[in-house]
């Protein structure tokens, strides 16, 4: 295969970037999309040019770092797939492929295809954990969890924090990410002691960085783990209930 790459290049956060065109020959259909960039960068280095900066780590669809907008779609044309799991057989021989970083105010570009997603870290730090006494671990089966609940919690916990939901949303919203991080704890018995403070703290932190959800459902469509927007509804329900509980505890009037 032979492909033409139209790649966004930007030397630093303060530089104005532009697209650069590169042709890559002898592309194997079995290559992953990241391996294509490995080949491109080898060619650039041999020519004495600056390689394209892009994020990657596990290359197994787990870490969520392989964030690229490919032909206008987060992670490319295949549903339920991270960029590292996308193979070149999904493209035609001779195809022109446009590759950009995430485009969201909350994800400023660092260099080329690398963006700063630390806003996600702020959300998780606000409450994406449980407080539990340390010491000898108790028998796991002492806490009974209905299968439907554990399945739903595992579906939410599948979120890899890649940011595709934000990049695809017209509003740059992070409701799907935040809802997944909240509900995989709020659904389980272990998450109940901090359930109401967790949802308030995490949602309020999210709103400092990201836009509002208006149910376009683009987030669900591009999520590599196919996380449902049902979790957003659960988050909104918990947030409203938490606000009422907080008012009662502080003696505020509705």
What does each of the 254 residues of the chain score in pLDDT, given as a tens digit?
Answer: 999 999 999 999 999 999 999 999 999 999 999 999 999 999 999 999 999 999 999 999 999 999 999 999 999 999 999 999 999 999 999 999 999 999 999 999 999 999 999 999 999 999 999 887 767 767 767 788 999 999 999 999 999 999 999 999 999 999 999 999 999 999 999 899 999 999 999 999 999 999 999 999 999 999 999 999 999 999 999 999 999 988 776 666 54
Q: pTM value?
A: 0.92
Give the domain ranges of the chain. Answer: 3-111, 118-250
Can you give the pLDDT at residue 45?
A: 97
Residue 199: name the closest of 181, 215, 173 by CA: 181
Which residues are CB-neighbours of 37 under 8 A, at least 6 positions away? 52, 54
Rounded CA separation 91/86 (Å)? 10
Can you give the pLDDT at residue 253?
A: 57
CATH number of 118-250: 1.10.1060.10
Homologous superfamily in CATH for domain 3-111: Beta-grasp domain (3.10.20.30)
Do 9 and 53 touch, CB atoms closer than 8 A?
Answer: no
Which residues are CB-neighbours of 144 under 8 A, at least 6 positions away? none
Rounded CA separation 49/176 (Å)? 39
Can you give the pLDDT at residue 61?
A: 95
Can you give the pLDDT at residue 248?
A: 73
Can you give the pLDDT at residue 142?
A: 78
């Amino acid at each position: 295969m032979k492909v033409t790459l139209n790649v966004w290049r930007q030397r630093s956060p303060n530089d104005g970037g532009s697209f650069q065109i590169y042709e890559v020959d002898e592309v194997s259909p079995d290559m992953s999309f990241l391996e294509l960039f490995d080949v491109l960068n080898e060619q650039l280095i041999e020519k004495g040019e600056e390689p394209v900066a892009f994020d990657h780590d596990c290359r197994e669809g787990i870490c969520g770092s392989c964030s690229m907008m490919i032909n206008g779609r987060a992670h490319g044309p295949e549903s339920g797939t991270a960029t590292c799991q996308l193979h070149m057989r999904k493209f035609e021989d001779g195809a022109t492929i446009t590759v950009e970083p995430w485009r969201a105010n909350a994800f400023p570009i660092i260099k080329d295809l690398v963006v700063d997603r630390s806003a996600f870290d702020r959300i998780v730090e606000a409450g994406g954990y449980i407080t539990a006494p340390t010491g000898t671990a108790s028998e796991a089966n002492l806490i009974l969890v209905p299968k439907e609940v554990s399945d739903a919690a595992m579906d939410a916990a599948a979120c890899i924090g890649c940011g595709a939901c934000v990049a695809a949303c017209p509003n740059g919203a992070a409701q799907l990410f935040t809802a997944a991080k909240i509900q995989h704890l709020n659904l389980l018995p272990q998450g109940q002691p901090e359930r109401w403070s967790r949802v308030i703290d995490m949602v309020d932190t999210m709103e400092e960085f990201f836009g509002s959800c208006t149910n376009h459902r683009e987030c669900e469509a591009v999520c590599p783990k196919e996380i449902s927007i049902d979790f957003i509804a659960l988050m909104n329900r918990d947030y409203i209930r938490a606000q009422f509980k907080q008012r009662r505890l502080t003696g505020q009037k509705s």
